[in-house]
Structure 1
């Protein structure tokens, strides 16, 4: 399998990529890198975008990833769910690195409760 190369230089980003990356699932097969970027850049500067494709057919696999320049932008995008792209409601969640997938804490969802005193 061929390794994936980033399109943009994110070496100036201060936060780890794992905190700046989101997974987008349930994409329409017509959704391109460009249309995905166009939709998600309303929440901040994108340093990488990819719609995953089958290596043989080059057809979309129905999911992709967005990497922002700052983790706060991920928070903003997540706070504005649900997202509708190319006529489909897509699933967005924080991307979990492959080596973290089996760990219970990787599946944890952060819930915030605000209490007024």
Structure 2
């Protein structure tokens, strides 16, 4: 299992502090991170919340479907980078 949650469908205005406020009631959070575009610095609409243990992360899955900043969250256990499906290269695109 994992103690890290994926949080999707975030508003561009939602930051790490807002995630910590929303998820903090489920247990001790060790890290929050909203993923941003490298070039613009703008939120990409998803992030991660890491709890100190797996039990707290499991409890926080209850936030799936909750609202933050007017958006309905999609919350699931985060997958390790190696567990993600491989992206196929697309060739000869113009």
Structure 1: runs of 5+ lacking an equivalent: 1-17, 103-117
Q: TM-score, normalised by structure 1?
A: 0.69
TM-score by length of 2: 0.85
- Superposed, 1:8-47 pairs within 5 Å as 19-47=2-30
Q: Please give the root-mean-square deviation of Cα atoms over the aligned residues, in Å.
A: 1.6
- For residues 5-27 of structure 1, the C-alpha deviation after alignment (integer angstroms, 9 at most, x for no partner) is xxxxxxxxxxxxx6100000100
Map of 1:78 onto structure 2? 61
Gaps of 5+ in 2: 86-94
Query: 1 or 2 for the larger relative contact order (CA 8 Å, sep ≥6)?
Result: 2
**Which one of the candidate residues 69, 75, 82 is aligned to 1:99?**
82
* Counterpart position of 1:49: 32
The CA deviation string for residues 40-88 of structure 1, in whole angstroms up to 9 with x for no partner, is 1110110010000011110000000000001011111113532211111
Q: Which has the higher strand share?
A: 2
